[in-house]
Amino acid sequence: MVLLNRIYTKTGDAGTTALGSGERVPKTSLRIAAYGTVDETNAQLGMVRLHLAGREPDVDAMLVRVQNDLFDLGADLCVPDRGEKLPYEPLRVSDAQVKRLEDEIDLMNATLEPLRSFVLPGGTPAGAALHVVRTVSRRAERLIVELSMLPNETVSAPVLKYINRLSDFLFVAGRYVNDRGKADVLWVPGKNR
């Protein structure tokens, strides 16, 4: 259970923050940047949901699940597995969450015509917003992968899979809300030469 009765603690005033394990790290650490960018991805999803505003209820329900998953992912990253015994069981992203995301990608993609070119961000407001969040999630992925490659740092395989699938999900969802791809704006190579 989460209990937040005080919002400011002043413990970060010197430029450090606490991980879920209690360990204090600089706010500039790669781990903080990684789960901070996951949080940014989540905030962008909130904006996408405003653009949907009652349209596409199935997609909106998927986005709510993804937002919750992103909190799980941030919690996973916030408690690195360093082998020490903690007084609680840390929350970890599961393969079942990855599988659900893959199933939702497949469900939406089955209704779309195959692409014959790359898609430019645009179409509908919700479609364009999904492309923005897709690029933010890719940045989160790059930071998470970089973190996983550092000595003495750990990132679970399900976290790496989930964040990789997420940009695929967001791309397909963008096409889906673009009138099932009919409102997609396609790249025309060399069009303006």
Residue 121 has pLDDT above 70, yes or no: yes
pTM for the model: 0.92
For residues 97 and 71, the answer to whether their CB atoms sit within 8 Å is: no
Give me the residue label for tokens 């919690």.
75
The first and second tokens of residue 122, run together, are 């645009």
Domain segments of the chain as ranges? 25-80+89-110+120-183
Closest CA to 73 of 97, 102, 48: 97
Model confidence pLDDT, tens digit, residues 148-164: 999 999 999 999 999 99
Q: What is the DSSP string of 92-161?
A: ---HHHHHHHHHHHHHHHTTSPPPSSPEES-SSHHHHHHHHHHHHHHHHHHHHHHHHTSTT----HHHHH
Query: What's 25-80+89-110+120-183's CATH class?
Result: mainly alpha
Model confidence pLDDT, tens digit, residues 4-45: 677 777 767 778 898 888 889 989 999 999 999 999 999 999
164 burial type by CB count under 10 A (0-12 exposed, 13-18 middle, 19+ buried): middle
Model confidence pLDDT, tens digit, residues 79-118: 999 888 888 999 999 999 999 999 999 999 999 999 889 9
